[in-house]
Chain A
Amino acid sequence: MANSANTNTVPKLYRSVIEDVINDVRDIFLDDGVDEQVLMELKTLLPRCLGICGWHSLWENKLMQSRAVDGFHSEEQQLLLQVQQQHQPQQQQHHHHHHHQQAQPQQTVPQQAQTQQVLIPASQQATAPQVIVPDSKLIQHMNASNMSAAATAATLALPAGVTPVQQILTNSGQLLQVVRAANGAQYIFQPQQSVVLQQQVIPQMQPGGVQAPVIQQVLAPLPGGISPQTGVIIQPQQILFTGNKTQVIPTTVAAPTPAQAQITATGQQQPQAQPAQTQAPLVLQVDGTGDTSSEEDEDEEEDYDDDEEEDKEKDGAEDGQVEEEPLNSEDDVSDEEGQELFDTENVVVCQYDKIHRSKNKWKFHLKDGIMNLNGRDYIFSKAIGDAEW
């Protein structure tokens, strides 16, 4: 078969990846106290799901061959499951307690993973008065400022027993203060002009074996109204084609607060309303060329096809729409977003080495990709493509 190469390599690769994952995960499963049986179940679930996902070609053959074996295993598993069900309720109770206690600290741990990376070098250099710390993503929105007011407010807010203060100078020149509390937990201050501070505590095991509590406090919000914690949304430019005229609605940079979002939304709506209104006195005809109200209107109407398109479509049933249709149908070039939302969308997931553009000629240098085309999977280590925009 001509396509034997890919149909051989793809399932082989998938199998090897499944094997690797199962083996690597076995330790994690055992650490978590989960039975090996569950691991085996995952292992057999995977090929079945692959089959369901429409990956037919080779899997059907494999399933046919191994159906006897699979059937045997599934029966075994059912018997084992019945036996296990007697033991599982008892185990699950222990698991739930265990996991519940771990749930809360673990939830904040990922958030603080970045701070851990920042602080670990800090803690190791405890004696140095200044520590250079690589810019972390925590400090994206920081403004350089004096420590005085903010710091004193924060230090007052700290629980008692907080002693020496370390100053950390990041690459960007921002000043952090690391305060080491008596219980060994470290607090970081991120001074800002507006009085917002973030305190993040890294849990550390004390000699007594008690974990320091995980605290994440964010002090009071700003007077400025723009919260630096949230990201900045740049509203895309909107270009209105109003016949021969184009109006560009300027980009607005706004924080994602509801008030501002409403403002930008209404701001965008207003310019849209205005062109329609300014054109209204010029274009009276809205209902097709058959209307004999005035000839002037017809000429002006043709200039503003795009805007009046919706109105024309509504009046399509009326007379004299024949000449309008060709004009209408060519105008709409943009695709609907809905077209992208159907099942078998052909997707390529990969990494890019180089993307090059010259005028409207694009060249793609891609690598390590998995493609799903026409329902089938393909893999490449390198892909080179050309396209014209």
Chain B
Amino acid sequence: MAYQLYRNTTLGNSLQESLDELIQSQQITPQLALQVLLQFDKAINAALAQRVRNRVNFRGSLNTYRFCDNVWTFVLNYVEFREVTELIKVDKVKIVACDGKNTGSNTTE
């Protein structure tokens, strides 16, 4: 099972909204939408693992940290994200990170 972590991203949310619209208009069933989301999980996990090859560095101050169910949640303040091409500054960012070692043991929601 791939992580369902990426459902709360722009892409994941837009997929869920689209599926909700189709459910509203009764063109698909919620069960089918769930299958689509599961497929999305696999696809996005695979795509990120294989098709992306870039590095980012960041520095900031840590406001809070939480480690629960093998998921780290951080809130950082005044962070600078640095990529080769650009610099991004934010006042506050939340980082949610699942365990990257064994990506097969996530429980379903």
Interface residues of A (CB under 8 A from B): 2-6, 9, 13-14, 16-18, 20-21, 24-25, 28-29, 32, 34-35, 38, 41-42, 45-46, 49-50, 52-55, 92, 95, 99, 102-103, 106, 110, 137, 335, 339-340, 345-353, 355, 360, 362, 364, 366-374, 377-389
Contacts and interface: CB of A to CB of B under 8 A. Distances in A.
Contact of B96 (A21, A92, A348, A382): A348
A147 B96 CA distance: 44
Contact of A50 (B14, B42, B49, B67): B14
Contact of A42 (B18, B42, B55, B57): B18
Nearest to B42: A24
A368 B55 CA distance: 10
A281 B58 CA distance: 52
Contacts of B99: 351-352
Interface in B71-109: 72, 74-76, 79, 81, 83-86, 88, 90, 92-101, 103, 107-108
Interface string B38-70: 011011111111011111111111110101000
Interface residues of B, number: 73
Nearest to B57: A384
A374 B48 CA distance: 21
Given A21-B36, A384-B56, 8 more contacts: A4-B85, A18-B11, A28-B39, A348-B97, A350-B98, A360-B62, A362-B65, A384-B57
Give the one of B17, B53, B84 with max A CB within 10 A. B17
A381 B96 contact: no
Chain A interface mostly: mixed
Contact of B61 (A55, A355, A388): A388
A347 B96 contact: yes
Contact of B58 (A103, A353, A383, A389): A383
A21 B94 contact: no
A389 B62 contact: yes
B5 A351 contact: yes
B61 to A, nearest CB: 5
Contact of A368 (B27, B48, B63, B84): B48
A25 B38 CA distance: 10
A34 B92 contact: no
A350 B29 CA distance: 30
